[in-house]
Amino acid sequence: MEIRQVQYALAVVEAGNFSTAAEDLYISQSSLSKQIIALEQELGFQLFDRSKRKIALTPAGSAFVIHAQAIDDAYRAMMADLREYKAKPSLAIVAIPVIAQYGITSYIAEFRSKHPDIDLALEEREASTILPALDNHQFDLAFVRDNYLERCPRRSRLVRTPEHPPGY
């Protein structure tokens, strides 16, 4: 079981359906369904009754949600509490696969040379998975195309170039 699967199940419960949850998580509905099915297979029972138009928790699903919320709360608290114990400062960056086309790699290389004491990690991901990962504190900074910015939660801060003034 992965924390992401637990968080996905909680998102479905909160949204009341798979399509809204998938939109909230910035993933496809089929990807979300596959993750929930994998979780259900591991658990050995269905979390959701899908026989009606609106999904509902099964009795086992209701019991799962109580524990899942505690797991998610504990995970988020742990990540926040343990950040200060890292051996050296770090910056985790996630970007769309075409990052080189935008000239961003040269800025990252310049940052790395000016700040060798910071452990810099760069990961490329599909755009639809970046904002949920950022929201789950897996990364500190993200580079996405502007069509994903409208989905970005208001609590996030956006930094844009002078050619692209803030829209928020």
Question: Cβ(32)–Cβ(8) under 8 Å?
Answer: yes
Whether the predicted model's global pTM rises above the 0.85 cut = no
Looking at residue 61, what is its pLDDT? 96
pLDDT of residue 155: 47
In the predicted structure, residue 65 carries a pLDDT above the cut 50: yes
d(C-alpha 112, C-alpha 107), whole Å: 9
**What distance in Å separates the CA atoms of residue 166 and residue 4, rounded to the nearest whole number?**
31
- List the alpha helices (DSSP H) in 83-156: 104-114, 127-135
Every domain of the chain with CATH number 3.40.190.10 lies at: 86-151
Q: Which residues contact 130 (CB under 8 A, 6 or more apart)?
A: 26, 94, 95, 96, 139, 142, 144, 148
User: Is 9 or 154 the better-scoring residue by pLDDT?
Assistant: 9
**Residue 40 binned pLDDT confidence (cut-offs 50, 70, 90):** very high
Outline which parts of the chain fall under CATH 1.10.10.10: 3-82
Pairing relationship of beta strands 56-57 and 48-49 according to DSSP bridges: antiparallel
Higher pLDDT, 149 or 43: 43
CATH architecture assigned to 3-82: Orthogonal Bundle (1.10)
86-151: CATH architecture: 3-Layer(aba) Sandwich (3.40)
Neighbours of 116 (CB within 10 A): 8
